[in-house]
Structure 1
Amino acid sequence: MNPPRGTAALLTAVTAVTSFLIAGPADAKTEAVSADSVDYAWIKSCPKKDYTVPCGKWKLAMRSGKTITLTDAQSFPRRPGGKVDKDLGAPLRVSGDGRIVSYLKNGRLVVRDVSSGEVRPLPGRAATLPRGADEGEVSTALSPDGSVVAVDYGDANDRLPSLIADLRTGKVATLSAREDVAGFSPDGEHLLTTRQTADNTTEFSVFGKDGRRTARRVVPQIVANNAPFALADDGTTVAVVVGGDSGKPRLHTYDLTSDAVSGAVRFSLPKGEEVQLLGWGPAGALTMWNYVGNGDAGTVLVVKRTVDAETGVTRRLHSFKPRRDSWIWWASGE
């Protein structure tokens, strides 16, 4: 069986990266590919005794049907003592538009422009992990166009602050380790985080790329207890999908400034299809990545749809079938 994937609420988007704006020389240059985009990244599963482990190299399944092998990406993380853990896959993520990939290369965090094949380190201190950090606990979250990267070190003691790296300017900001990154606004200007308070409530916060908090609110249960959710470009509006006892999904919006929850907007999905990722798109529409299948069979189909935030009208955009022999895979924006 594949390892637990966790709850992902990172944003998807439809914008494309037109240039790779990071100062300094490239770490590596690989063969260029066409203006294609990633459907998902995956690493193969191999048997070991009575369980499975990751094996081989990370690969990118492209929308065109091509497969790109990331020959320079670490397959396995190193533990604080330096030992390579071959029972676990090294961290890797794909931007919502499928154009930028982040991963570890020789112990440093880098980003790759999928179209050009150019690989560059994250700016400044964001590239190098702090002393004592466990590579197996590191995770990154990319803005929809991949121009901003949040780095979370995942230490249990919340000792290591997270970082927000702006690839366009090269600036790196610090974020409290107590904040859990939930996702970016579509333009990448705002970062949504969550935190469990001492009163067992859930607090949402919004930060700019400079690390300054612009909004904070203990949110109502209908927002805190449901997922996925997504932050709009205004930095205050959060969309959330609620399943409900009827099994019919509905959409709400929540305003962090006024603490107001909108009425329900119902929408329909085919049987067995569940919303896993959510992100704001142009003209008030939302983009959903929906998964079909669960249990030992895993996810057998991934469907991308839009849903109108006012009418609930949905439209199918794209779909793909993830490989059954993968140890783990990550959809673009997850």
Structure 2
Amino acid sequence: MRKPAILALSAAATMALTPLAGAAQAEARTGAVSATASSASPVRYAWLKSCHKKDDYFPCGSWHLLLRDGRDSVLKDAAVFSRTAKGKIDKQSHAPVSVSGDGRHVSYFRQKDGLLAVRDVTTNKVRVLPRAVSKPPKGLGTGDLATTLSRDGGLLTVDYYDEDDKVPSLLVNVRTGKVSKIPAKVTVLGFSPDGKHLLVTQGTAENTSRFSVYDQDGRQTDTQVVPQVVANNSPMALADDGASVAVLITTTSGRQRLRVYDLSNDTVGEAVDVRVPKKESARRLEWTPDGGLTLWETLDSAKTGETTGVVVRGLDAGTGATTKLDSFRVKSSLWTWWLPGE
């Protein structure tokens, strides 16, 4: 799993980057980066194979996308290995990849020039981000950051992991190139489905957690020190109202419960039992436009702990009733894999 994205959002001034130019601009229009043929089918998950030699394990092969129609698509232009601060390839570390919540967009570093790109996998069109966004700050490599896409692929966070938590991270509008600088002391929890709100958390001096919400320009719109039942459980999801935070709780008995926290009023709703088989584990949660939720559950091997499958369920936030929307197997012996929204 991706390590936490260390960010700190504030009302920092935003800067407009130079528009895409030359070949990069043409490529963004035409989707000229080499890859498998375009498809109208979105992504179920992105994956990278694990190889080993004696007792040494390392990422290998190419990034793959399992599509909803069952086909396997290869991201031929995506960098597999990260690069160090000095630009050397690190074959023990994978380059960052993220998938949008709708499964239609993937962000990655391109192998040929190290630039960040966002591909629409349903049309094969690519937007290449400027070098000012793609190049890590001095002293950091691509293994020292993570990226996260909004549900529609229109926004991208680039989160840096510096030891002193002093390097600002970025909130990028993929379509316009506008960038908000984000200071370095909060952890990104995720976008609302419409991409207009970003939920983050930060530890306080009193060993509590503060949740804050920011808009697309990095301006804070709400903040609260939250109850322990909210801060200490996951997954969670922010609704389009910028205030309702759904939190999935797994009890000591293995049962799942849902609570909805109102960030504006600092109130926690009653617990609702979620009706899923006990063998399933919650991995990801997202609000839907009608006020329901989508829940991604994993099936894990009792012997190895390795995930063998995923079940996607619609979840009624009021009753806890679920409806199976999709299910698929997860390949074995993977170095890493990402669901939509991760």
Of residues 120-129 and 298-307 in structure 1, the stretch that sits farther from structure 2 once superposed is: 120-129
Q: What one-letter code is carried by the residue in structure 1 that aligns with 2:321?
A: V
CA distance in 1, matches of 2:129, 2:184: 19
CA distance in 1, matches of 2:145, 2:4: 16
Q: What one-letter code is carried by the residue in structure 1 that aligns with 2:324?
A: R
The 3-state SS of whatever aligns with 2:229 is helix
CA distance in 2, matches of 1:7, 1:305: 25
TM-score, normalised via structure 2 length? 0.88
Which ranges of structure 1 fall in alignment gaps of 5 or more residues?
A: 9-21
1:10-65 deviation per Cα after TM superposition (whole angstroms, max 9, x unaligned): xxxxxxxxxxxx96332551454221111111111111231321111111111112
CA distance in 2, matches of 1:135, 1:171: 21
Alignment counterpart, residue 242 of structure 1, candidates 225, 236, 249: 249
CA distance in 2, matches of 1:151, 1:6: 13
Q: What one-letter code is carried by the residue in structure 1 that aligns with 2:77?
A: D
1:202 corresponds to 2:202: no
Q: What one-letter code is carried by the residue in structure 1 that aligns with 2:100?
A: S
Kindly report which structure 2 residues correspond to 1:1-334, keeping only aligned pairs within 5 A, or say none. Answer: 24-26=25-27, 29=32, 30=34, 32-105=37-110, 106-122=113-129, 125-294=132-301, 296-334=304-342
Q: After TM superposition, what 4+ stretches of structure 1 lie above 3 angstroms from structure 2?
A: 4-8
CA distance in 2, matches of 1:48, 1:158: 36
Query: How many positions carry a matched residue from both structures?
Result: 318
CA distance in 2, matches of 1:179, 1:326: 30
CA distance in 1, matches of 2:131, 2:181: 12
Q: CA deviation at 1:156?
A: 2.1
Q: What one-letter code is carried by the residue in structure 2 that aligns with 1:86?
A: K
Q: CA deviation at 1:250?
A: 1.0
Q: CA deviation at 1:130?
A: 2.1
Which ranges of structure 2 fall in alignment gaps of 5 or more residues?
A: 6-18
The 3-state SS of whatever aligns with 1:126 is helix
Q: CA deviation at 1:302?
A: 0.4
Contact (CA 8 Å) 2:2, 2:146: kept in 1 or not?
Answer: no
* Aligned match of 1:18: none
Contact (CA 8 Å) 1:76, 1:89: kept in 2 or not?
Answer: yes
Contact (CA 8 Å) 1:231, 1:238: kept in 2 or not?
Answer: yes
Superposition CA RMSD, Å: 1.8
CA distance in 2, matches of 1:137, 1:211: 22
